Amino acid sequence: MWTGIPLFPEQASTFAREVDLLYLFLVGVSGFFTVAIFTLVFYFAVRYRRRHADEIPPAVAESATLEIAWSVIPLGITMVMFGWGAKLYFEMRKPPSEALQMWVVGKQWMWKIQHPEGKREINELHVPVGRPVRLQMISEDVIHSFYIPAFRIKQDVLPGRYSELWFEATRPGEYHLFCAEYCGTKHSGMIGKVVVMEAAAYEQWLMGTPTGETMEQAGERLFVQNNCNTCHHDRADARGPVLQGAFGKPVRLESGQTVVVDEAYVRESILNPAGKVVAGYRPVMPTYQGQISEEGVLQLLAYIRSLRERPQK
């Protein structure tokens, strides 16, 4: 039993090996200094133990050189740790542009995952091996945190704001998914698994059990159901800004500010339209807060994002 205690989770992502290497470096340095201090303290305590009651030890000269040495050397070592950690961190924060996009909505106490092709999962995330995957995440209620130990990644999932993380799985298998930010009663029950599959198996899994709409199709359905199309169209009398080709581009607001039409702005426009009105338009758009779920917003986003591919008239 004792030999079976692992010290590391499995390494199942491109990050895992890097993080473990850095971790081992830290363990090595810490171990060195811990052993050194323990040894010195123990050795001095024994070597210089009091031998008779009235003993007075000789004075020991202070040494500025020593002080500077043991300030500068640790400083240097910590800066190496910082640099190495920062470099790896940069990579962790920059998803490659060709990453497969998936969406996560967290709520007390489950994870809801959406694939672009339409497949939806609860507390399970199927991904193909060897391809970068980017997760865009939001919470419906409190702060949660999406944590896959085997991939060495974690990111808080916030209400009202998108957060993201990315990874590239390297080994097929099943791995733990944990919520890592205390979120109430069933926080320790908000767990699941990440299933990494070979590319072919993943495609097959995607195709299995017909799901109906892709995210874009679901978004288009919502767009019509909620009458968005009555104001947002490309005819002359449109009450709302044209959405074709709008995503990803800057736009000028009533206030004079310029913002980029990104996920956050589109989400805000759906849920709190009076906040940032595009210049030249009146603030007449009703709010859909409470009427469209976070998943619905993500679907609408997928649809609106797809509109950029349509040719301009």
Partner 1 sequence: MTEHGTASAVAHQFDDLEQQREAGSLGMWLFLITEIMFFGGMFTAYAVYRYAYYNAFIEGSSHLNVPLGAANTVVLIVSSLTMALAVHAAQRGKKKAMVAWLALTIVLGGAFLGVKVVEYKDKYDHGLIPGALWNPKHEGGVAPPAEMQLFFSLYFAMTGMHALHMVIGIGIMLALMRMALRGRFSPEYYAPVEVSGLYWHFVDIVWIFLFPLLYLIGLHVVKGHG
Partner 2 sequence: MTDARQPALPKLHYLNADYGIKSWLLTTDHKRIAILYLLGVTFFFFVGGLFAVLVRVELLTPAGDFVQAETYNKLFTMHGVFMVFFFLIPTIPAVLGNFLVPLMIGARDLAFPRINLLSWYIYMAGGAFTILAMAAGGVDTGWTFYTPYSSTYANTHVMLTGIGVFITGFSSILTGLNFIVTIHKMRAPGLTWFRLPLFIWAHYATSLIMILGTPVVAITVLLLALERAFRIGIFDPALGGDPVLFQHLFWFYSHPAVYIMILPGMGVVNELITCFSRKKIFGYHFIAFSSVAIALLGFLVWAHHMFVAGLSVYASLVFSVLSFLVAIPSAIKVFNWTATLYKGSVSYQAPMLYAMGFIGLFTLGGLTGLFLATLAVDIHVHDTYFVVAHFHYIMVGGMVMAYMGGLHYWWPKMTGRMYPDTWARFAALVIFIGFNLTFFPQFVLGYLGMPRRYHAYPEEFQVLNVMSTAGASILGVGYLIPFFYLMYSLRYGAIAGPNPWGAKGLEWETPSPPPTENFPVTPMVTEEPYEYGAPGAAPRGHVRPQEAPGD
CB closer to partner 1 out of 99 and 271: 271
Cβ at position 41, least distance to partner 2 in Å: 6
Selection from 299, 295, 304 nearest residue 261 by Cα: 304
Selection from 208, 212, 186, 182 nearest residue 197 by Cα: 208
Which among partner 2, partner 1, none contacts residue 130 (Cβ within 5 to 8 A by kind)? none
On whether the CB atoms of residues 211 and 126 are closer than 8 A, the answer is no
Quote the tokens at residue 272: 């709190």
3-state secondary structure of 274: coil
Q: Which of 188, 255, 258, 291 binds partner 1 (CB under 8 A)?
A: 255
| 268: Cβ contacts below 8 Å, ≥ 6 apart | 275, 276
- The answer to the question of residue 160 lying near partner 1 (CB under 8 A) is no
Ramachandran region, residue 72 (left: φ > 0; alpha: ψ -120 to 50; beta: rest): alpha
Which among partner 2, partner 1, none contacts residue 227 (Cβ within 5 to 8 A by kind)? none
- The answer to the question of residue 283 lying near partner 1 (CB under 8 A) is yes
CA-to-CA distance for 310 and 313, rounded, in angstroms? Answer: 9
Cβ at position 275, least distance to partner 1 in Å: 6
3-state secondary structure of 275: coil
Which among partner 2, partner 1, none contacts residue 283 (Cβ within 5 to 8 A by kind)? partner 1
Q: What phi, psi does 152 have (nearest 5°)?
A: 65, 30
CB closer to partner 1 out of 39 and 255: 255
Q: Which of 44, 83, 254, 260 binds partner 1 (CB under 8 A)?
A: 254
Cβ at position 241, least distance to partner 2 in Å: 22
CA-to-CA distance for 27 and 54, rounded, in angstroms? Answer: 43
Cβ at position 2, least distance to partner 2 in Å: 8
Per CB under 8 A, contacts with partner 1 among 259-278 are 272, 274-275
Q: Which residues bind partner 1 (CB under 8 A)?
A: 254-255, 272, 274-275, 283-284
